[in-house]
Structure 1
Amino acid sequence: MALIPLRAAVFDLDGTLIDTEPRNRVMWSRLFEAHGAPYDDALIASFAGRRGLEVLADLAHLFPGRTVEELFTEAVSYEALPGMPAVGPVPGGVELVRALAGAGVPLAVVTSGQRPYAERLLDELGIRDLLDLVVTAGDVVTGKPHPEGYLAAARDLDVPPGEAVAFEDAPAGVAAVKAAGMTCVGVATTQPVGALAEADHVVADLKEVDVEPGPALRVRGL
């Protein structure tokens, strides 16, 4: 158990506050299948935490004749197909955001998703109005694992990165947080614990994090 003082909290979105990863994996898998492109579980897992356009740019050779933008639009369109995995809040996430807001802690989300997508999910969770800042894929030049998004959040919240705590569920996100100089709490909702080894603390879900006077976070880690 650890007690972590903080002046700001920053959250990833997919897999950290809302459990979209099963659906996202189906979407990316269908894209590869639709084009007869080879893939395996590790390749699909490599999309986690990163901007889809950047991953697709790395894999463009598998989709001859198609632009990265076309492929991304196609993958996103699968979200509305019948039978897709259900999406719901990560246990403890909404409650933690509300507790931090009640304690007067500045709050931000840094996501690899596009703004309309991120704003919709935050509205569905009922926490958008509690956030001071939302940094999306279109707000940065380089996505995770680059720290640009987290550094932008610290700058705009006017808090030194070393006095902020960030929550991430994917290796690319953990790397971005650590490169920004923030304390990282890994959330093992979508990845095995070992994949989050670079985080300062790892929890099964956000029910294992409590807000204490100070303010500080009490983390009951794995």
Structure 2
Amino acid sequence: MSRDTTTPLTAAAALFDLDGTLIDSEPRSQELWRRLFAAHDLAITPALLASLSGRRSADVIAEHLHRFSPGLTPDDLRRDLRRLDEETSLPEARLMRGARTLLNRLRNAGIPTALVTSGGLKYATRHLARLDVADHFATLVTADDVTHGKPDPEGYLLACSRLGVDPRQALVFEDSAAGIRAARASGAACIAVGNPPPATTSETLAVVHDLADTPEIRRADGKAYQDQATPRRGEASP
């Protein structure tokens, strides 16, 4: 789904993933999972780490619970994860390059923004406040708001519903395979950030390494992206 990136985009809303898209938190996230697995004497491979990107911790824990000692519950592991997340030796998350510039451009263009993250509300609000970008977002959709995490489109559909926009007029910024598939399944267009999995780049309008390099975005005039799929609940792109 390549396009001429010199032509301005139109959008009724811009929706951002948090980790790896708006903030550079991947080193912190990966170290957190490494420490959780190590605390339970389990090895974790680079491939396994990569497969966890963009997903809710509850979904990851449910999928890998069988690897941990019998008798441990998802609540036990979530408590361990929260405790580890408080360790001061973890890498600190920073804004992605160009993030503040892009957010200011969207504000000046009158385009509302939302955050759609696989993290919890406390996690998201802490980082947004610390990095002084919280006031850019009209609504936050977190892991606490959805039944099905990415790659299910529920979070993006909910954000569009809260903003009162057609998902086919929304523009999503994502970095992970799960997030890109969630965006596409919602009917939205997607810009990939950083180094997305190669198999997903054909599903995006463009790939940017610096958010400030995003093509110009103008407020939508009421027309949906013509090549987007019809929004569908509970189904992710293959």
Match of 1:204 in 2: 209
Q: Does the aligned pair in 1 maintain the 2:190–2:205 contact within 8 Å? A: yes
Q: 1:208 to 1:78 in 2, by over 3 A?
A: same
What are the Cα deviations for residues 135-173 of structure 1, in whole angstroms up to 9, with x where unaligned?
A: 000101100000000001111111111111000011100
SS at match of 1:172: helix
Offset at residue 202 of structure 1 (A): 1.2
Q: Does the aligned pair in 2 maintain the 1:12–1:167 contact within 8 Å? A: yes
* Equivalent of 2:182 in 148, 159, 176: 176
Q: Give the partner amino acid of 1:162.
A: R
CA distance in 2: counterparts of 1:22 and 1:76, whole angstroms? 17
Q: Does the aligned pair in 2 maintain the 1:27–1:76 contact within 8 Å? A: no
Q: Give the partner amino acid of 1:194.
A: P
Q: Give the partner amino acid of 1:115.
A: L
SS at match of 2:8: strand
CA distance in 1: counterparts of 2:49 and 2:139, whole angstroms? 29
Q: Give the partner amino acid of 1:72.
A: R
Match of 1:75 in 2: 81
Match of 1:219 in 2: none
* Equivalent of 1:138 in 127, 144, 161: 144
Q: 1:49 to 1:85 in 2, by over 3 A?
A: same
Q: 1:42 to 1:185 in 2, by over 3 A?
A: same
CA distance in 2: counterparts of 1:53 and 1:97, whole angstroms? 29
* Equivalent of 1:149 in 129, 148, 155: 155
Q: TM-score, normalised by structure 1?
A: 0.90
194-203 or 163-172: which moved more? 194-203
Q: Unpaired segments of 5 or more residues in structure 2?
A: 222-238
Match of 1:92 in 2: 98
* Equivalent of 1:16 in 21, 28, 34: 21
1:111 aligned onto 2:117: yes
Offset at residue 127 of structure 1 (A): 1.7
* Equivalent of 1:187 in 185, 193, 203: 193
CA distance in 2: counterparts of 1:100 and 1:106, whole angstroms? 7
Offset at residue 88 of structure 1 (A): 0.8
What are the Cα deviations for residues 123-142 of structure 1, in whole angstroms up to 9, with x where unaligned?
A: 12212122111000010110
Offset at residue 192 of structure 1 (A): 4.6
* Equivalent of 1:158 in 130, 152, 164: 164
Q: 1:157 to 1:82 in 2, by over 3 A?
A: closer
Q: What is the aligned residue count?
A: 214
Q: TM-score, normalised by structure 2?
A: 0.84
1:48 aligned onto 2:53: yes
Q: Unpaired segments of 5 or more residues in structure 1?
A: 217-222
CA distance in 2: counterparts of 1:215 and 1:157, whole angstroms? 14
What are the Cα deviations for residues 54-89 of structure 1, in whole angstroms up to 9, with x where unaligned?
A: 011010000122111221221232223243223211
* Equivalent of 1:61 in 52, 57, 66: 66
CA distance in 2: counterparts of 1:113 and 1:214, whole angstroms? 28
Identity %: 41
Offset at residue 20 of structure 1 (A): 0.7
Moved segments of 4+, more than 6 Å: none
Offset at residue 34 of structure 1 (A): 1.1
SS at match of 1:119: helix
Q: Does the aligned pair in 2 maintain the 1:5–1:214 contact within 8 Å? A: yes
Offset at residue 210 of structure 1 (A): 4.7
